[in-house]
Amino acid sequence: MNAAVCNAMVPINIVRLIDERGLKQCAVAARAGFTDQQMCDMLNGRKIIKVCDILAIAEALGVEVGELYVTDQKGA
């Protein structure tokens, strides 16, 4: 598996985790220290999600960083 595949899964997994937990995207954004627009831009590919962003988002979701890189839903 290459880095591009892993990185492409991050926004998909963030959205999946938000939905699974019944959270609002804006609430997760606020907990992670982002505006609603910044979070939207990250999830829609208009802003690169940096390592520090991933750490903050994982913490806001209450998951390990590795969960944001899952490429197989059986492993989630």
Work out the percent of the chain whose per-residue pLDDT is above 90: 80
CATH class for the region spanning 3-75: mainly alpha
pLDDT-based confidence at residue 6 (cuts at 50, 70, 90):
low
In 21-64, where does DSSP find H-type helix? 25-32, 36-43, 51-61
Per residue in 32-53, pLDDT (tens digit) is 999 999 999 999 999 999 999 9
pLDDT-based confidence at residue 15 (cuts at 50, 70, 90):
very high
- CA distances for 41 relative to 32, 47, 74, 75, angstroms: 14, 5, 28, 27
Structure tokens at 35: 């505006």
Contact, 39 vs 25, CB < 8 A?
yes
- Distance, CA of 24 to CA of 39 (rounded, Å): 11
Note the pLDDT of residue 75.
45
Contact, 43 vs 15, CB < 8 A?
yes
State pTM to two decimals.
0.87
Domain limits, the chain: 3-75
